[in-house]
Amino acid sequence: MLWLCLRFPCLALEVFPPESEPAVVVALQRVQAANEAAQAAGIQPGLRLAAALALAPGVLVHERQPAREAAWLHMLACWSEAFTPQVSLAAEGELLLEIGGCLRLFGGLPALRERVRAGLAEQGSFAVQGLAPTPRAAQWLARAGVEEACLEVEALPAALAPLPVQVVEGFTPAQQRTLAALGVRSLGDLLVLPAAGLQRRFGAGLPLQLAQALGERPDPRAAFIFPEHFAERLELPAKVSEAAMLLFALRRLLAALAGWLAARASGLSSCRILLEHEDGLPASELPLNFAEPTADLARFERVLRERLEHYRLTAPVWRVQVLADEAQPLAGRSLGLFGQEAAQALAPVIERLRARLGEAAVHGLACVADHRPECASRAVPEAQAGVRPAVAGTRPLWLLPRPQALGERAGVPQHEGAILRLAGPERIESGWWSEVGQGGDVTRDYFVASNPRGEWLWVFRDAQGWWLHGLFA
Amino acid sequence: MSMPVPLDEVLLRPDVWRGDRFAPNEAGEVASGFAALDAELPGGGWPRGALTELLPAQRGIGELALLQPALRHCAEVAPVALVAAPFLPHAPAWAAALPLERLLLVEASGREAAWAAEALLASGALGALLLWLPAQVDARSLRRLQLAAEGHRAPAFVFRPPALARSASPAPLRLALSAAPQGLQVDLLKRRGPPCSKALLLPVARPVAQRPQPQAAPLPLRPQRVQV
């Protein structure tokens, strides 16, 4: 077992939009977290609000939002499912990941830690990573800000000894005074004391915690229960009226979605984004469609970017939600024969084109067994091997959207000059059963023809006269 | 002072060629299927990973029949994309030209069409690209397309209005197409090699082999539905 504890020291601040100006989060008139600019002004967590305002008069003050922090941690837990199926929510601002079983998959410990760090940075977050063979030791290391990994149980006492005793949770102020009076400052000082004496002074909890940290007693952790249906919502820090500004918040949700999908070995071919407006206005829906089921965050983001670029918000948005309805199991990736790779490389491009130009603008073509030329083609969403064409006659590559009426002079149809009939007639008579909108009843004689400009035309004659219907390009 | 570079070394660079010879194309060529044309094209075929600009005088003179042998070859490996096609593609005719499952159609207009073509070319997953651009799309878009095409195996054919024959273009190969009695007349406006002054007459596939001179058979009766 190897536990990775992710401790988010700036969690209280991360639920607000990133600021370059000094900003602090306060609860009960005390500073809980301060951003870099505020720390540069000398504001430290624990300071009174009045003192902070004296240090930096223009500081931006946020009231702490525990509900938002819990939701954000919940999403980070979903996201971390991409790394390991065993995740648990520890104390506030901490996540525990069991990574002993997945090190090889990610190419070793340094590579995995780097991926975690980079993934968090993309979402605008930062975590101290504590690593130890027991969950409690990992938590203590993370709380002390020690990122050096401790991999063996035997090495635990030495690794924990220098940590300050404050990393242990649950000391009352009176007990802290007792510890100071005993001269206990580090965990090393605590570990050498007899367990019976500790139990008498501090209760049974402390020796148990110490034993769990050293791996002498079991330390079961409640596993984080991943939602069965992905419907995560994120309250925006401020109302947003520009579509492009939604990208940052939605990226966090999509990262969580990608983790949720990875744990299920599933992919999505579509998901919905709900943009909730204030004042009881109905929420706007923004569907994202993918050419094939995918769990790739980069593809989610590319499609989202294209969609947002051309999206006009009807009203300011205060909350966004990502809904994934149909997760489909993804086949394991195998190295295909030629042709398959090409289709895989093309799918992300097709998604981008569809997101920008519309779903119907990118399509394949299939034959329909119908003799009427305007009914013989059908747009299909996916390129596919379809039915063979029903006709053997000469057919032009291009059809006009609707037949164009041709003038007639001395019985000869005209199109940029007199038309010369070269082959025909081919009589097409079909569709007596259908309505005008679906092709209609057709009784026509088709000819291959050319005009003086050298254009090769497909013309027909019916009871109304002569018509141009296609071009032999 | 840097050392002068010997001329032989300069001539070995792929982007430098002697005016009296054809320039080599790193990505290779795909044979056009017309011996007379292949003999005049640098490398002996349509260049892969480069733009080929086609300026047909009219529509429906055999401009696609000219590309058909090469397209059939390209479609064996990867899809062929038609971007901003000027008319509706008629599936039975296209099915005779290429496998339909290898045909991808993108409907877009003007600048969007150039953007879509650029994205498709840059993916490197295409067998070939056919793009129709209006006159308003400028040379800068073409330059972007040329850059997107470079390094991939797909030949990119861009159809533009014939009035642009005299304006500059970044495409390394430009052809003007016009109707001829026995097929298609091709004028090489630009190629990486010596200028070509003679027009080529190519026997492209036409629905009727020979044009009969006189108006042949008398017309049958107009098609009429007999009411019973």
Before A425, cis peptide (omega within 30)? yes
Question: What's the pLDDT band for B85 if we cut at 50, 70, 90?
Answer: very high
Tokens representing A295 are 């769990």
pLDDT at B124: 86
Nearest CA in chain B to A382: B101
- Let me know how long chain A is: 473
A367 inside 8 A of chain B by CB? yes
In contact, A263 and A248? CB cutoff 8 Å: no
- According to DSSP, the β-strands at B46-47 and B29-30 are antiparallel
DSSP state letters, A311-332 = ---SS-EEEEEEEE--EEEPPP
In contact, B60 and A471? CB cutoff 8 Å: yes
pLDDT above 90 covers a percentage of chain B that reads 39
- What mean pLDDT do residues A333-361 have? 71
Using CB atoms, pick whichever of A353, A386, A398 lies closest to residue B116. Answer: A353
In this predicted structure, the answer to whether residue B215 has a pLDDT above a threshold of 60 is: no
Residue pairs between chains A and B whose CB atoms are closer than 8 Å: 204
Average pLDDT of chain A is: 84
In contact, B49 and B121? CB cutoff 8 Å: no
In this predicted structure, the answer to whether residue A420 has a pLDDT above a threshold of 90 is: no
In contact, A322 and A260? CB cutoff 8 Å: no
pLDDT at A319: 85
pLDDT above 70 covers a percentage of chain A that reads 95
The count of other CB atoms within 10 Å of the CB of residue B109 is: 12
**What are A233-246's pLDDT values in tens digits?**
888 877 888 877 78
| From-to residues of CATH 3.30.1490.100 in chain A | 230-356
Question: What's the pLDDT band for A370 if we cut at 50, 70, 90?
Answer: confident
In this predicted structure, the answer to whether residue A337 has a pLDDT above a threshold of 60 is: no
Crossing angle of helices A109-122 and A247-264, in 10° steps, is 140
Q: What is the DSSP letter of B109?
A: -
Question: What's the pLDDT band for A47 if we cut at 50, 70, 90?
Answer: confident
pLDDT at A467: 93
Smallest Cα distance from A468 to chain B, Å: 12
In this predicted structure, the answer to whether residue A330 has a pLDDT above a threshold of 80 is: no
Higher per-residue confidence, B2 vs A408: A408
pLDDT at A334: 44
pLDDT at A336: 39
- Of B155, B185, B198, nearest to B63 by C-alpha is B185
Chain A residues with CB under 8 Å of B219 CB are: 425, 461
What CA dihedral angle connects B194, B199, B201 and B202, to 10 degrees?
Answer: 40
| CATH architecture observed for domain A230-356 | 2-Layer Sandwich (3.30)
| Residue carrying structure tokens 């536990």 | A3
A310 inside 8 A of chain B by CB? no
| Chain B 59-118, residues with CB within 8 Å of chain A CB atoms | 59-65, 77-79, 85-97, 99-108, 112, 115-116
pLDDT above 70 covers a percentage of chain B that reads 91
A448 inside 8 A of chain B by CB? yes
pLDDT above 90 covers a percentage of chain A that reads 8
Q: Determine the distance from the C-alpha atom of residue A195 to the mean position of all C-alpha atoms in its chain, rounded to a whole number.
A: 49
Inter-chain CB proximity A361 and B108 less than 8 Å: yes
Helix/strand/coil for B111: helix
pLDDT at B216: 53
- Domain B38-202 in CATH 3.40.50.1980? The answer is no
pLDDT at A338: 41
pLDDT at A332: 56
Helix/strand/coil for A231: strand
A455 inside 8 A of chain B by CB? yes
CA distance A364 to A351: 14
Tokens representing A129 are 């990573």
DSSP state letters, A28-49 = TTEEEEE-HHHHHTT--TT-BH
CA distances from B149 to A409, B69, B155, B164, B172 (A): 49, 21, 8, 21, 12
- Of B151, B88, B80, nearest to B117 by C-alpha is B80
- What mean pLDDT do residues A35-49 have? 85
In this predicted structure, the answer to whether residue B14 has a pLDDT above a threshold of 70 is: no
**What are A51-100's pLDDT values in tens digits?**
888 888 888 888 888 888 888 888 888 888 888 888 888 877 889 999 88
- What mean pLDDT do residues B119-148 have? 90
- Of A442, A373, A401, nearest to B93 by C-alpha is A373
Interface test with B, best of A372, A430, A456, A461 (most B CBs within 10 A): A456
Nearest CA in chain A to B92: A389
In contact, A15 and A3? CB cutoff 8 Å: no
pLDDT at B52: 94
Tokens representing A389 are 């064409």
**What are A260-273's pLDDT values in tens digits?**
888 777 888 888 88
**What are A174-219's pLDDT values in tens digits?**
888 888 888 888 888 888 888 888 888 888 888 888 888 888 888 8
**What phi, psi does B146 have (nearest 5°)?**
-60, -40
**What are A452-461's pLDDT values in tens digits?**
888 999 999 9
pLDDT at B69: 93
The structural domains of chain B, with segments of one domain joined by +, span 38-202
CB-side exposure of A297: number of CA atoms within 13 Å? Answer: 17
- What mean pLDDT do residues B169-188 have? 90
Interface test with A, best of B88, B107, B202, B204 (most A CBs within 10 A): B88
The count of other CB atoms within 10 Å of the CB of residue B21 is: 12
- What mean pLDDT do residues B8-13 have? 75
Average pLDDT of chain B is: 85
